[in-house]
Amino acid sequence: MQRFLDSLNEPQRNAVTLPAQHALILAGAGSGKTRVLTTRIAWLIATGQASPQGVLAVTFTNKAAREMNTRLAAMLPISTRGMWIGTFHGLCNRMLRAHHRDAALPQTFQILDSADQLGAIKRMCKRLGVDDERYPPRNIQYFVNSAKEQGLRAPDVEVVDDINRHYVELYAEYDAQCQREGVVDFAELLLRSFELLGRNQLLREHYQARFRHILVDEFQDTNVLQYRWLKLLAGTDNAIFAVGDDDQSIYAFRGANVGNMAAFEREFQVRNLIKLEQNYRSHGHILDCANRLIRNNESRLGKNLWTDAGEGEPVRVYEAMSDALEARWLVEEVRSLVAEGGMRSDIAVLYRSNAQSRVIEHALVAQGIPYRVYGGLRFFERAEIKHALAYLRLIANPHDDGAFLRVVNFPARGIGARSLEALGDVAASAGCSLRDACASLGGAAGSRLSTFIGLIDGLATETRELPLPALIEQVVQRSGLRQHYENEREGEERLENLRELVNAAVAFLAEEGIGQDVPANAGVAIADVPADGLLAAAGDGVDVLDAAGPDGARSTPLAEFLGHASLAAGENQAGEGADALQLMTVHSAKGLEFRVVFMTGLEEGLFPHENSSAEPGGLEEERRLMYVAITRARERLYLSYSQTRMLHGQTRYGLKSRFIDELPPESLKWLTPRGTGRMGTWHDATGWPARSVPAGSGSPATRDRGTGLRIGQAVEHARFGEGVVMEIEGRGDDARAQINFGPSGIKWLALSVAKLTPL
């Protein structure tokens, strides 16, 4: 037995060898919780306290279940095939298969995934004639799943108004449809299993007698119904071994209830609470930042991570003048790390929301650095972006059949597959585009197609004189895309991406040297040089706006932007197994670790997210999310934020995240100046490191150069108020000034962007 324990530290051994009683193991990030869980199972079996069939182990992912099985097979001379190790859904599916008659299900019942469930709801709505504008199918899906995760059937849901009453009625009808068809969705698996155990005493006692030991991984992510299911299965005599970290509970939006850990300790009168605090992943400075940050949360059970690996490198903090320069700086840091022998695949770039990836992706493509978006799609490959681009393509070319098919019935206009099949036959026979073939169809389908064509023609007319960013905003609004995603309960992220598309257009015009007031469909010549070479070409005396391609053809900003989007979607796609930079949201990074981590966009309103202040416990969950981000890093951690960021096509000034102020100053290394007398490296307008500058010590040569400002001059800013110029660097459009705004702090502002009024 000792061989199981030799590789464990003292708290881990204590957890593994606990008696058969309820236990709560607070397992910090990188503290070896999977090893503890697996060794606990092996210990119970090897010491004869449990048989392989007498253990129930619940994980949150199939990957974790497979890893646990693999480790157990290597530790014990047994087959793990018959063991009950799996996710909540997987275990409930197994139970329902074994007792399908008692559960009122056919033996061959099928499971609906999320997409199948949405399709079933849409069929129901069509059959009942439900107004899908007033009751969007995705909202119905959200309502049904939320109710089931609370353990509520339709009659149990409280009716508060007429709209709510209709959702309850649709829930009941959906349940009846699924029962008729012999199918269950994911939420139904758990609810049906819970109901089965609750009403069938013999079955409940059978499983309680069988599973004397119940082990649960990621306990902080359990929802209300999962916790109730565990309580029902445990009865009064069984032992629950719960492993989790309340500081890493970040899935409240999925129904996770961080309070389950405290409730478990209280309701089960847990006497065995063990903290796994030794971290085997990160160096000391990184852990010091994580510990200091999370102490600001009041609702936590409490622990303090430590390591014997040494302090390591300090956490690097970078303040950029703009989000574009933040991305360029990041790219140069990545290139330096790779040049030093590092692997791109061991570097992760994290962000709070998916929309933030666009500007980073653009910088990576420009420098030819392969990357992979983990757990999501590249910006220009996301469905909502493709929909918007399809409308833009139809404005640029109304005979684009691919774009036509993508959005002719999105948002839904009642144009079905049969009508489109008939339309395709007409177009093929006549040798014309789908648009031209529309005139040949009569009846309701012809009328709806005619309305769609009228929409496209109207958009083309209305936006003819609009610059590209305004054109995109108009298309998103008039096409119905905005309203469609506003009606989706989880559509905010898609709306953020659509807003970021406007920012992409602004950035594109700037790179191409096209004025933002130039109409998107105006004939503007584009120099036949790469995008990242345009500014250099202009500096060499080439007039970018007046230059034409090799054949003298002149393009339009809209057409050029669409070409840019197509290229960006396909460029630098890392092949399978290729060494590629990892891009992901912090939520997607949970459970992963990397040698180097960049945490970007650390500004108030972005991280913590602006919505967090309006939700109970929202700020604490955002702080836990930041804690997760910090603890992904093994050796080096970068934190960055930007003074200005493009939002809705407009430059906005931001304040650095409060989370940076909550970190220990002694563990930070600032890469940019932070105030008078502080030394730091700043980056010029190209994004390249320029030199080290003691703030407030600029030479006379860097204090004028046509800026119109002087050291010591009083100025006023619309957001930050009155301030005093402390330093000026650069010249002309590339100049920036360091200004002391008193209560608002000391800030570096790009003078080409900032609106300063001399006082």
Cα separations (Å) of 456 from 91, 129, 384, 398?
A: 51, 28, 18, 8
Burial bucket for residue 722 (CB in 10 Å: 0-12, 13-18, 19+): middle
The sign one gets for the Cα dihedral 415, 420, 426, 432 is positive
DSSP state of 257: -
Show which residues are catalytic. 33-34, 217-218, 248, 632
Burial bucket for residue 156 (CB in 10 Å: 0-12, 13-18, 19+): exposed
599: β partners = 350, 639
Residues 6+ away with beta carbon under 8 Å from 604: 610, 654, 655, 656, 657, 658
Angle, helices 468-478 vs 492-512, to 10°: value is: 160
Q: How far is CA 323 from the centre of its chain?
A: 18
Rounded Cα distance, 498 and 733, in Å: 30
Nearest Cα neighbor of 72 from 112, 126, 34 is 34
Alpha helices in 340-378 (DSSP H): 357-366
Rounded Cα distance, 157 and 167, in Å: 10
Please report which helix (H) or strand (E) contains residue 405, including its range. helix 401-407
3-state SS string for 263-314: HHHHHCCCCEEEEECECCCCCHHHHHHHHHHHCCCCCCCCCCCECCCCCCCC
Angle subtended at Cα 38 by Cα 35 and Cα 39, rounded to the nearest 5 degrees:
80
Across the beta sheet with 714-717, the strand order is 746-750, 736-740, 721-729, 714-717, 756-758
Q: Match 């957001």 to its residue by tokens.
A: 719
Alpha helices in 129-246 (DSSP H): 137-149, 162-181, 186-199, 201-210, 224-234
